[in-house]
Structure 1
Amino acid sequence: MKTAGKTVCVFVLLTITKVTKTVGESNRNQSAIGMEEREMCTGHKRVSVTVGNSSVLICSPKPNMTMATWKINPKAGGPCSLGYRADQNKTDRTNCSESINWKFRPDQDPTLEIQQVGRAHEGSYTCEVVVAEGNFHTSYYLTVLVPPRLTLYCDDQGNPVCKAAAGKPAAQISWVLENNSTPKEEGHDDGTATVVSKFTAYSTNGTTCIVSHLAGNWSKSIACHPTKSTIIIRYVYIILCFLSIITFMAVFYYFKLHRDRLCHKTKPPETAPTHSPQDDTMEVEPYTTYVQKENVIYNSVSDLTVGQNLLQGLSPAT
């Protein structure tokens, strides 16, 4: 019964974990889909680049182009712009850092290049080309990916712990051998997130942690052995469980053996039938009445006899 209870509890926990994980992934997917839908509605093309790399945003040139302008609205910092005027053959820059510049000559190709992309470069980029036929726009939304720092170590209990720190977006952690652990995610103010997963299944040959991220995939292997304190704790736990089972069985059999005695003690004592003094009175009363009547008759006869004797004795004297 105890084993069945544990099995049911483990099954319920696994079910809750699976549902939670599925709901979390579904929410993240819905958020990503919602963002993409918003970008599609606004005409933005999604572009991802890993921090530290360069990014090139294409702005197709048009014949007889009179003006080209890049309008940039990053998530951090103020907006900036790059402009080119064909009639003056002149370029201008407003509030843009040196890392943002034209890829080629703007009169030939107004493509934009961002060197050494940082998290501050994330945001929207719009190119506007002006010709005689009208204005043409090309819009992008630049997402900066931050690869997590992978760390794999053994905790105090001898369990492998895999940590993907400060990744953007949050990394996904898995193990070569299946286990029941649920990764814990912690968000940071800079938009990155740290994910930690502990390998709960026991393996003497070691295990491998796999980190999946949009910026790449990484893996590490480690072999952890339980410490002396962990072994002692396990033995103590086993002994305590064994003693608990023995105690439970002893109490159970004690109450089972003494159940009849306890029931006998708690049974109310049998009471003798009550005998009312009135019943004795009812039984003695007829006899008493009879004796009294006999005495009265006897006394009357005796008195009559004495009276006759006295009369007879007095008669001769007269």
Structure 2
Amino acid sequence: MKAGVNMKIAGKTLCVFVLLTITRVTRTAGNKNVSVTVGNSSVLTCPPKPNTTMVTWKINPNVGGPCTLGYRADQNKTDRTNCTDSMNWKFRPDWNPALEIRQVEIAHEGNYTCEVVATEGNFHKTYHLTVLVPPRLTLYCDDHGNLVCEAAAGKPPAQISWVLENNSTPEEESHDNGTVTVRSKFTAHSTNMTNTTCIVSHPAGNQSKSIACRPSKNNGFILHVCITVCFLSIITLMVAICYFKLRSNRWCHKTKPPETAPTHTPQDDTMEVEPYTTYVQKENVIYNSVSDLTAGQNIPQGLLPAT
């Protein structure tokens, strides 16, 4: 008895599961990834059904708010909410409810869902729109004679490869708008390099360029010369500074003549002795005169006048 009940329950569960699966398959036309290059137009189809009463496009971009496009068959009327002019019906929605996106931009990237209401049920189909931005390819030689390949502002990031084997790792630089710049350097080991080709692979299209670079032989010599010149310039500047500093010290620190003690010359002694000598000479003259007078008159010495 219990086994029969369990079988019935299992059978009902299986039937419900099958019905839900069929309903899901019937009502869901499936999700689809769509890629479109920036600047181009894209058309998203919606499965037309007989006896359609309503069609609605629900758009949820990655940037900005959602918008909707709607059509009602009973009123034969269309409406739009928050959608830009670049999004509109491709044809008449009553017989082909396809959506057209003109001049696709990066901001249009996101999810687009078409919902159809018909007498036989509801159906919907979802697209995930990816916007491709082809990179700008640049190939040039750097100062060391190495090749540099640049795939600028691509979305998604580009893949860079070389015709000749290269061990360098590409560098990526992300930008605010979602694009990425990729750079790869090819080191030239031979002085007789022929044209080397850079290949850029991208979903929006592949590109390639070729160029030949010669490794610079004079880089080491030029660097050595620059270092030597800088060193000599520094030495010369230091010598000039020292020279002018010593010269300025000589001008600023010229010493005054030393204050020496006055010298004693024989002339000074003569000048000091001269008054005394003159006095003595006068006394001698007087004495001699008196002596001569006394001798001539025979006057006794004691009677001589005092001098």
TM-score (norm 1): 0.59
Q: Which protein has the bigger helix share? A: 1
Across the two proteins, how many residue pairs are aligned to each other?
196
Q: What's 2:280 paired with?
A: none
Aligned to 2:141: 154
Q: 1:146 is matched by which residue type in structure 2?
A: V
Q: Which residue of 2 aligns with 1:114?
A: 101
Give 1:163 deviation, angstroms.
0.3
Inter-partner Cα distance in structure 2 for 1:232 and 1:43 = 67
Q: Deviations over 1:153-196 (max 9, x none)?
A: 10000111000011111000000111111111122222111110
Q: CA deviation at 1:54?
A: 0.8
Residue pairs, 1:1-318, within 5 angstroms: 43-203=30-190, 204-230=193-219, 232=221
Distance 1:231 1:157 in 2: 10
Write the distance in 1 (CA, Å) between the matches of 2:188 and 2:67: 53
Tell me, which stretches of 5 or more residues in structure 1 are unaligned?
Answer: 1-40, 237-318
* Aligned structure 1 segments of 4 or more residues deviating by more than 3 angstroms: 231-236
One-letter code aligned to 2:81:
T
* Larger displacement relative to structure 2 (188-197 or 66-75): 188-197
Q: Against the structure 1 CA distance between its residues 42 and 197, is the aligned structure 2 distance closer, same or farther, given a 3 Å change threshold?
A: farther
Q: Distance in 2 between matches of 1:139 and 1:167?
A: 26
Give aligned-pair identity as a percent. 75
Structure 2 gaps of 5+ residues are: 1-27, 226-307
Q: Indicate if the aligned counterparts of 2:29 and 2:124 stay in contact, CA closer than 8 A.
A: no
Q: Which amino acid aligns with 1:119?
A: I
Q: Give, in angstroms, the shift of residue 230 of structure 1.
A: 2.6
Q: Distance in 2 between matches of 1:42 and 1:60?
A: 8
SS at match of 1:216: coil
How far 1:228 sits from its partner (Å)? 4.8
Letter in 2 for 1:174: S
Higher-Rg member (1/2): 2
Instruction: State the distance in 2 between where 1:151 and 1:234 align.
Output: 28
> Per-residue deviation at 1:97?
0.7
Distance 1:202 1:49 in 2: 41
Distance 1:44 1:190 in 2: 26
- The answer (yes or no) to whether the contact 1:179–1:201 under 8 Å persists in 2 is no
**Mapped contact 1:45–1:139 kept (Cα < 8 A):** yes
Please state how far the C-alpha of 1:44 moved relative to its aligned partner. Answer: 2.5
